[in-house]
Structure 1
């Protein structure tokens, strides 16, 4: 994609995914000083030189978000998603009904385990 690096120079807060080969092919491209680079291949976060550390996520929202992501990842790796998710949903609903009846519960049965469904589930989890 010609001039794709222009997306990284936009003065707005975006999360943009680029393949790891992108920066290798754009040798003269310099990341802006306020860009956080998240390398999903190595599980590393490279922060800008002058940036503060990220604070921990607030609770209970942080735990809820992490649990939603774990459920999404689990739904991607199971061979029989409908059966596994039904069992998980029943188990989660029983536990949650006993703890809090007014809490919004993430329902993994709402999503499939194809790439598009997982993408939607991840966006909703955030």
Structure 2
């Protein structure tokens, strides 16, 4: 299953509204497990010139993501998760890698902090 922009927005809005029920959890924000594919690209001005990489999305929170990747990523590396939306421009979620942990041979868990969330509609109007 691919994660759509609409589903992403719905999950995040539900997590934000449920954040009061986390009194005994050590995490700063609630998270939800997700088993979906996403496409990431390095955070660059010319995204069209860079081929996307398919990753598995493990979990989401209002402030972050955990993906499973076939390649390691350095702490501080920035990437864009692009999510398609029905009859709208794609949703772009910009993340910065906070950790990268080897799970097994050539399989890495990569945690990213959400830097900003926007759409290409906003990007094109700013130009």
TM > 0.5: no
Task: Give the structure with the higher percent strand.
Answer: 2
**TM-score computed with the length of structure 2 as normaliser:** 0.24
Superposition TM-score, scaled by structure 1 size: 0.25
Which of the two has greater helix per residue?
Answer: 1
Identify which of structures 1 and 2 has the higher relative contact order when contacts are C-alpha pairs closer than 8 Å and 6+ apart: 2
